[in-house]
Amino acid sequence: MPRVADHEERRRQIARAVRDLIAGQGLDAVTVARTAAAAGVSVGLVQHYFRSKDEMLLHAFHEISARIRGRVEERITAGVEHRSPISRVLAGAMAEYLPLDDERRTEFRVTRAFAGRALDAPALAEVDAEAGRRLRADIARAVHNGKECGEVAEDLDPWPVAVRLAAVTEGLAAQLHRDPGGVDGVPVDELAAAVIGAELGTVFTGRCRQYAKAGKRRDADGR
């Protein structure tokens, strides 16, 4: 009997084929037959795992959203382990949503295609909405933690900030996708860093107390 891991890998293989078809030819290019050919499997196998095109699309959307989410969580975990400033960790997390390399450009194109279809597909709309909620929650948590350590003013409400910074992230992603070669001679990675840095600079206006204490200890030790 095939292992569960084998089934999951088959489903991921089909999801990657859907992603590649959308990225290269658009959402309308996705059919069961074309997906099977792109994945290098039979039509029957695709139909074994997915009863309809909509079910196949939904799974692919989940897979892409999970990939982005996984990278964001890796950024956050690494930042906590290295005791990085919260604003720096958040900047890295926001950048995972931006089309700054081939992988993220593909993901952006595909997620935009899904978001358009989601207007008439409630199941896809829920995946899209959940991705937005997770981004806002990450930002709100970062602002809350910043307030506790001194990077953010104590009277700042995290949720309006989260909505604004999420909107900046989504709008910036669209701008960079339209002009992948840069804007007015500024490369997209530099432009993204400048915009995100400026926005976060209006929120994270202080220095975390733990870093200030660490600096005082180093000075006292003569290091």
Does residue 90 sit in the same domain as residue 132?
yes
Does residue 44 sit in the same domain as residue 89?
no
Q: Each residue of 185-218: pLDDT tens digit?
A: 899 999 999 999 999 999 999 998 876 554 444 4
Q: What's 113's domain CATH number?
A: 1.10.357.10
C-alpha distances in Å from residue 94, one per residue of 15, 51, 182, 198: 24, 35, 18, 13
Enter the pTM of the model: 0.87
List the chain residues with pLDDT less than 50. Answer: 1, 214-220, 223
Does residue 123 sit in the same domain as residue 89?
yes
Residue 202 sits at φ, ψ, to 5 deg, of -80, -15
Does residue 197 sit in the same domain as residue 131?
yes
Q: Which residue segment(s) compose the domain that 141 sits in? A: 59-221
Does residue 8 sit in the same domain as residue 27?
yes
Q: What's 24's domain CATH number?
A: 1.10.10
